[in-house]
């Protein structure tokens, strides 16, 4: 789930480096303890069966999704690309109670509509709290929404990556199959049992992970392909593969080298923002200027055929002109159709570290503009259900 957004990752490098020295066993012990709490919570709520495909006492419910697609001229393709308009989604952090459903329902009440797509993040700790794909909350949300799961090749130091620190497992190790039996295979089987199509992104913003020690672009490609092929070997056919980079054009050379190839990718994802004073940017970038350069570059230099997901987007506020934030969001329905391969827009609704870096639309002009944009017919598609 939680991760630093473009140009924020490197600012936390010093802090992250300190935590990286922690032994993985200690991290595992912490997460294991929290996992006991999670199992107790979900069992008390009666939301999960006693057994499932993972055989660890926190399996999928009996009424797993069928994966049926809607009919009609605007029905999505097998790769979940809507033929008319685009999906409207968001990443919403967990509620203080630890519930994702509570957080999503509260956000939807604020914005006046149901999300088409819920984006959530997981590490590879293989614990129920953060390392298990398709938690009980995700399964519940997935009944009426699409799910986008970002799977990071790390073990987080804190629950839900609250302090942004983590231990890298390394792309070379993943490509070697070292983690297949204990991490990759159990999650692949859970997704297969779920049945409904979902989006999966392995190590989103891989271009920022190179300096963090994950490996080389070639090692990323090998790791990505290995996970993709391993899922195929296990008969997992309900994954739509999203390759997600930051879109930061200062990383153009790395992003080209990170691409696994059209046969391994269904969607291209990018994470671009109008950070403005959050990172002392000299210029305010409206929605068009914040997204189009990276969109055009990816279509020209990586793939012009794949649908594009704005896998994270948001704007920082302008404290001197608060209405700017409203207008930034309100203009999205005007701009999005002029980038016709953008078929999903996913708002990042969480602050990031730093002054002026509240990227949420929980109140004020930002919420007003976001609500207005979400009412547009362009973002009103029929979502596959159970």
- What residues have CB less than 8 Å from 117, skipping those under 6 apart? 87, 88, 89, 90, 145, 146, 147, 148, 199, 344, 346
- State the catalytic residue, choosing from 81, 152, 312, 372: 312
Quick one: which H or E segment has residue 36?
helix 24-45
Question: CB within 8 A of 283, min separation 6: which ones?
Answer: 276
Residue 176 has φ and ψ, to the nearest 5°, of -75, -15
| Cα angle value 114/117/118 (rounded, 5°) | 95
What SS3 class is residue 167?
A: strand
Residues 246, 211: Cα–Cα separation, whole Å: 14
**CA distance readout (Å), 299 to 23, 292, 382:** 41, 10, 27
Please state, in angstroms and rounded to a whole number, the distance separating the CA atoms of residues 309 and 81.
10
Long-range residue pairs from 253-257, CB within 8 A, at least 24 positions apart, any chain:
254/207, 254/210, 254/217, 255/207, 255/298, 255/301, 255/302, 256/301, 256/302, 257/217, 257/218, 257/221
Strand partners, 90: 118, 347
Please give the structure tokens belonging to residue 155: 């073990």
The residue annotated as part of the active site, out of 152, 205, 212, 372, is 205
312 is catalytic: yes
How many Å separate Cα 6 from the centre of its chain?
14
C-alpha separations of 384 from 236, 238, 308, 371, 372 in Å: 18, 13, 19, 23, 24
What the block records as the tokens of 313 is 């987007």
Give the span between the Cα atoms of 330 and 285, in whole angstroms: 14
Gap between the Cα atoms of 144 and 117, Å rounded: 9
Would you please indicate which residues are annotated as catalytic (active-site) residues? 205, 312
């Amino acid at each position: 789930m939680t991760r630093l957004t473009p140009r924020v990752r490197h600012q936390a490098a010093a802090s992250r480096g300190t935590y990286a020295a922690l032994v993985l066993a200690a991290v595992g012990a912490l997460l294991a303890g929290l996992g006991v709490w999670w199992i107790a919570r979900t069992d008390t709520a009666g939301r999960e069966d006693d057994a499932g495909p993972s055989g660890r006492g926190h399996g999928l419910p009996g009424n797993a999704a069928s994966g049926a697609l809607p009919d009609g001229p605007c029905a999505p393709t097998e790769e979940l690309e809507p033929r008319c308009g685009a999906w409207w989604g968001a990443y919403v952090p967990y509620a203080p109670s630890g519930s994702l459903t509570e957080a999503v329902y509260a956000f939807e009440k604020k914005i006046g509509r149901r999300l088409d797509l819920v984006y959530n993040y997981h590490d590879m700790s293989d614990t129920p709290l953060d390392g298990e794909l398709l938690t009980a909350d995700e399964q519940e949300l997935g009944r009426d929404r699409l799910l986008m799961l970002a799977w990071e090749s790390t073990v987080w130091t804190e629950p839900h990556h609250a302090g942004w620190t983590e231990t890298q497992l390394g792309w070379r190790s993943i490509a070697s199959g070292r983690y297949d039996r204990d991490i990759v295979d159990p999650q692949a089987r859970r997704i297969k049992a779920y049945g409904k199509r979902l989006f999966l992104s392995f190590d989103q913003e891989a271009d920022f992970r190179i300096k963090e020690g994950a490996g080389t672009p070639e090692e990323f490609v090998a790791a990505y392909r290995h996970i993709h092929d391993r899922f195929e070997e296990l008969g997992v056919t309900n994954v739509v593969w999203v390759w997600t980079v930051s879109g930061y054009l200062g990383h153009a050379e790395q992003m080209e080298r990170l691409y696994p190839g059209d046969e391994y990718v269904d969607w291209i994802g990018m994470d671009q923002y109008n950070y403005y004073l959050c990172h002392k940017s000299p210029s305010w970038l409206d929605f068009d200027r914040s997204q189009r350069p990276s969109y055009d570059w990816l279509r020209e230099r990586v793939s012009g055929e794949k649908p594009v997901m704005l896998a994270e987007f948001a704007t920082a506020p302008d404290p001197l002109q608060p209405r700017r934030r409203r207008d930034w969001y309100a203009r999205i329905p005007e701009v999005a159709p002029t980038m016709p391969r953008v078929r999903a827009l996913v708002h990042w609704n969480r602050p990031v570290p730093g002054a002026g870096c509240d990227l949420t639309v929980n109140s004020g002009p930002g919420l007003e503009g976001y609500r207005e944009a979400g009412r547009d017919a362009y973002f009103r598609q029929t979502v596959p259900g159970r």
